C-alpha cells in the first residue's frame, strides 16, 4: 500500500463512529442524498462535463460555454426547477451554475407575486428552459436601498400598457446574474408611475431578447459587466431601457394590479420578501457544504503531509500538531452546526410559504429575521474558512490544483449579494428589539427561537458556565445594553434614526451576530437529541467545541459583566484543548461523512487514496496546457534578444 494511502487508512481505522449515520443527518432526507450522489457520478463519468485539472488555464468565455453545456446535460437528468434537485449540486461544479438565479429567485418570485394565470403562462417555460430570467433589481446607484430604485414603469392609459425607462446612468440595472448572455427574460423591479404618482417599486416580467436570434430587442441595452472577484462563469450583466413598451400583464399582479384604469392593492405586500427568502435560504443551505469541501481537502492533506521528525525518528503528520488542529477542528465543528441550521431553516421557510399561500403572515417576520442572521453570518464564515483551509495546506494550498482557492472565489460574492451582510444584521437587530418589546405586553407573540427574551431574569440570575447558558447570557446582555443605550440617547436631542446610525450601529451588528450563533447552538442541540445513539457523543463534542470557540472569540461581554473571571476563562481554554485532542482521531470520519468524490473536490492534494505528491506532479506535467503547448514564441523572442538596460 502506498505510504500516504496507508496514513489515511490508519486514520479511518481510528474513527469510532459509523460515518453513514452522520451522512444521513447532513443531507436531511433520502431524496437530497440520492440526488447528490447520482449527480456526482454523472458529472465524473461524462467526459464533456467532468471537472478538469486544466480548468483554470481556460479563458472566461470557454469556462462560460462549458458551464452551459453542464447545465444542459444535468437538466436532462434532473428537474432543475426543483431546488431539492439542483441545490445540492451547486457545490459539485467548477464555476458557478447557470440558471441558479432563474430557478432560485425568479421562479419563486413569479410563484408568490404573480397570479395563478401568470404562473401558468410562464412557469412551464422555465421547466423546459424556454425561459431563463434574470432577477433585475440592483442598479448602479442603488443595491440594498430598494425603495429608491430609479428605473420607471409608467402606465399609459391610452394604450393600457407600461413604458419601461432608464432615466440615468445610476438607474442602469447592474450585477444581476445570468443577464449578460443567458437570459431572454428579466424580472425587472421598477417604480410604478400611475397617473403621475409613484406607487412604489414592483416587479415586471419582461422579455429582453429575441426568442429566435437571442439578440436584444429594440429599446433594450443588455450585456456582460466583465471580470470579477470570483464568479467567472456567472454572466452578471447590465440592462437599460429606452422607452420600452411592455404589456399590462407584465406586472406581477397577485397583490398589486391595474384594472379598468384603476390602481389597487390586495393582501400583504410583505410577501415580496418571499423570493429573497428562497435565495437566502439556498445560500445558507449550499455554501457551508462548500466549506465542508475545503475542510475535507485540508484535513486529508494534513494527515498525508508529514513534516519534522518525532522522538522516534518518524515524520509527524501535520494534523498531529496542536496548532493545525486549532486551525481546522473548530471550523469543522462550526460547519456541522451551520449545515444543521441550514436544514432547519429550510423547514421554517417551507412552513412559512405554506402559511403565506393561505394568507397567514404570522411567521413571515421571524423567518425573515432568522434568514437574515444566518445568511450574514454563514456567508462570511464560509469565505473565512476557505482561506484558513488554504493557509493550513501551506504552499500547495495556494495553487488551484488544491481545489481550495476556487471555493474562496466562488463564495466571496455571497457576503454582498442577496442582501449586504451589515444591512442584514441591522434588520435582525431591529427585529430583536421589537421582540424585546413584546415581553411585557404581548409575550404570546414571541416566537419559539426568540423565547430567550421571556427568560431574561432567569438568565441573568443563572451562574452556570454551561456553554449554552454562556451563549444565551452574552446575547441577552448585549440586547439589554443596546436597548438601554437607545432609550438613554433619546433625551440627547438625537432622533431615532440618528441614534440608530450614529450611536449604536456597532452594537447592533454585534447583537445580531450573537443571535445567529445562539440559534445555531439551539439547532445543533435539537439534531443531537434526535440523532442515532452511535453518533451522539461525537456530535456533542463538536457542539461543545463550536460553542467554546464562539465564547472565546467574543469574551468581552462576559468579562466586562463579571460573569466569568480569569480562572474560568483559563478553564474554558483548557477545555477547548481537551476537545481538540478528543476530536483529532475522529476528524477524517467527520469530513468523509460529507461523502464528496475526488472529482467533486477538484483536488489533487485531498484525494480519497492520498498520494498528494504524485497527483501534484502528474497534474503539473500532464494536465497543464501551458506545458503541453510548449514554449510561447514570445519567450523565444525575449530570450533571444540582448537587451541593454538604460542606467
Furthest-apart CA atoms within the chain: distance in Å: 90
Residue 439 and residue 424 in contact, taking contact as beta carbons nearer than 8 Å = no
Residue 275 and residue 105 in contact, taking contact as beta carbons nearer than 8 Å = yes
Residue 616 and residue 401 in contact, taking contact as beta carbons nearer than 8 Å = yes
Helix boundaries (H) for 311-419: 322-357, 364-392, 394-397, 404-411
Q: How many CA atoms lie within 13 A of 583 on its CB side?
A: 31
Residue 164's closest CA among 273, 272, 251? Answer: 251
Q: What are 138's three cell numbers?
A: 440592483
Q: In the chain, which residues have pLDDT < 50?
A: none
Ramachandran class of 594: left when φ > 0, alpha when ψ lies in -120 to 50, beta otherwise? alpha
For residue range 521-541, what is the model confidence (pLDDT) as tens digits? 999 999 999 999 999 999 999
The pLDDT assigned to 513 comes to 98
- Main-chain dihedrals φ then ψ at residue 262, nearest 5 degrees: -120, 140
For residue range 133-192, what is the model confidence (pLDDT) as tens digits? 999 999 999 987 888 999 999 999 999 999 999 999 999 999 999 999 999 999 999 999
Q: What are 394's three cell numbers?
A: 501551506
Whole-number Å distance between alpha carbons of 225 and 210 = 20
Grid cell 404570522 in the structure block, residue: 362
Q: How many CA atoms lie within 13 A of 446 on its CB side?
A: 18
- Tell me the average pLDDT of the chain: 92
Residue 287 and residue 228 in contact, taking contact as beta carbons nearer than 8 Å = no
Total residue length of the chain: 647
The pLDDT assigned to 493 comes to 83
Q: How many CA atoms lie within 13 A of 109 on its CB side?
A: 26
Amino acid at each position: 500500500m502506498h505510504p500516504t494511502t496507508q496514513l489515511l487508512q490508519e486514520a479511518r481505522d481510528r474513527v469510532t463512529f459509523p460515518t453513514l449515520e452522520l451522512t444521513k443527518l447532513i443531507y436531511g432526507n433520502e431524496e437530497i442524498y440520492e440526488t447528490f450522489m447520482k449527480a456526482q457520478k454523472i458529472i465524473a463519468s461524462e467526459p464533456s462535463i467532468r471537472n478538469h485539472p486544466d480548468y483554470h488555464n481556460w479563458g472566461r468565455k470557454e469556462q462560460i460555454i462549458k458551464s452551459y453545456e453542464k447545465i444542459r446535460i444535468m437538466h436532462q437528468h434532473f428537474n432543475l426547477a426543483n431546488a431539492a434537485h439542483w441545490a445540492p449540486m451547486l457545490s459539485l461544479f467548477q464555476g458557478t451554475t447557470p440558471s441558479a438565479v432563474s430557478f432560485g429567485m425568479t421562479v419563486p418570485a413569479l410563484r408568490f407575486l404573480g397570479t395563478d394565470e401568470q404562473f401558468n403562462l410562464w412557469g412551464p417555460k422555465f421547466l423546459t428552459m424556454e425561459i431563463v430570467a434574470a432577477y433585475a433589481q440592483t442598479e448602479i446607484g442603488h443595491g440594498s436601498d430598494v425603495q429608491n430604485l430609479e428605473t420607471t414603469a409608467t402606465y399609459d392609459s391610452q394604450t393600457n400598457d407600461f413604458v419601461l425607462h432608464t432615466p440615468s446612468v445610476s438607474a442602469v440595472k447592474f450585477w444581476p446574474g445570468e443577464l449578460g448572455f443567458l437570459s431572454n427574460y428579466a424580472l425587472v423591479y421598477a417604480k410604478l408611475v400611475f397617473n403621475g404618482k409613484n406607487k412604489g417599486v414592483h416587479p415586471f416580467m419582461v422579455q429582453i431578447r429575441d426568442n429566435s436570434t437571442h439578440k436584444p430587442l429594440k429599446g433594450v441595452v443588455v450585456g456582460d459587466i466583465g471580470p470579477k472577484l470570483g464568479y467567472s462563469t456567472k454572466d452578471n450583466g447590465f440592462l437599460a431601457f429606452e422607452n420600452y413598451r411592455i404589456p399590462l400583464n407584465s406586472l406581477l399582479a397577485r397583490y398589486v394590479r391595474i384594472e379598468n384604469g384603476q390602481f389597487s392593492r390586495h393582501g400583504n405586500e410583505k410577501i415580496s420578501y418571499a423570493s429573497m427568502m428562497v435565495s437566502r435560504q439556498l445560500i445558507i443551505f449550499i455554501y457551508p457544504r462548500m466549506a465542508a469541501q475545503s475542510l475535507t481537502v485540508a484535513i486529508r492533506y494534513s494527515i498525508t503531509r508529514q513534516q519534522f521528525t518525532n522522538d522516534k525518528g518518524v515524520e509527524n503528520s501535520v494534523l498531529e500538531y496542536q496548532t493545525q488542529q486549532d486551525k481546522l477542528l473548530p471550523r469543522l465543528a462550526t460547519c456541522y452546526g451551520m449545515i444543521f441550521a441550514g436544514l432547519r431553516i429550510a423547514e421554517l421557510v417551507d412552513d412559512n410559504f405554506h402559511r403565506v399561500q393561505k394568507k397567514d403572515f404570522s411567521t413571515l417576520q421571524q423567518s425573515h429575521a432568522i434568514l437574515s442572521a444566518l445568511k450574514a453570518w454563514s456567508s462570511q464564515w464560509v469565505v473565512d474558512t476557505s482561506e484558513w483551509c488554504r493557509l493550513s495546506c501551506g504552499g500547495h494550498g495556494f495553487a488551484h490544483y488544491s481545489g481550495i482557492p476556487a471555493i474562496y472565489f466562488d463564495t466571496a460574492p455571497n457576503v454582498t449579494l442577496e442582501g449586504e451582510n451589515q444591512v442584514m444584521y441591522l434588520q435582525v437587530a431591529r427585529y430583536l428589539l421589537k421582540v424585546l418589546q413584546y415581553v411585557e405586553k404581548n409575550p404570546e407573540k414571541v416566537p419559539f427561537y426568540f423565547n430567550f427574551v421571556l427568560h431574561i431574569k432567569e438568565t441573568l440570575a443563572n451562574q452556570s458556565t454551561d456553554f449554552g447558558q454562556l451563549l444565551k447570557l452574552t446575547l441577552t446582555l448585549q440586547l439589554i445594553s443596546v436597548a438601554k443605550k437607545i432609550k438613554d440617547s433619546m433625551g440627547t436631542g438625537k432622533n431615532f434614526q440618528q441614534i440608530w446610525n450614529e450611536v449604536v450601529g456597532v452594537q447592533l451588528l454585534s447583537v445580531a451576530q450573537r443571535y445567529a450563533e445562539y440559534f445555531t447552538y439551539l439547532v445543533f442541540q435539537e439534531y443531537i437529541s434526535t440523532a442515532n445513539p452511535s453518533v451522539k457523543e461525537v456530535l456533542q463534542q463538536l457542539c461543545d467545541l463550536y460553542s467554546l470557540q464562539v465564547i472565546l472569540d467574543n469574551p468581552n461581554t462576559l468579562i466586562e459583566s463579571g460573569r466569568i473571571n480569569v480562572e474560568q476563562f483559563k478553564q474554558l481554554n483548557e477545555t477547548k484543548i481537551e476537545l481538540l485532542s478528543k476530536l483529532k482521531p475522529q476528524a477524517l470520519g467527520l469530513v468523509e461523512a460529507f461523502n464528496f468524490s475526488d472529482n467533486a473536490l477538484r483536488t489533487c492534494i485531498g484525494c480519497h487514496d492520498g498520494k498528494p505528491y504524485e497527483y501534484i506532479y502528474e497534474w503539473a506535467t500532464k494536465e497543464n496546457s501551458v506545458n503541453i503547448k510548449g514554449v510561447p514564441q514570445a519567450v523565444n523572442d525575449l530570450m533571444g534578444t540582448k537587451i541593454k538596460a538604460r542606467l
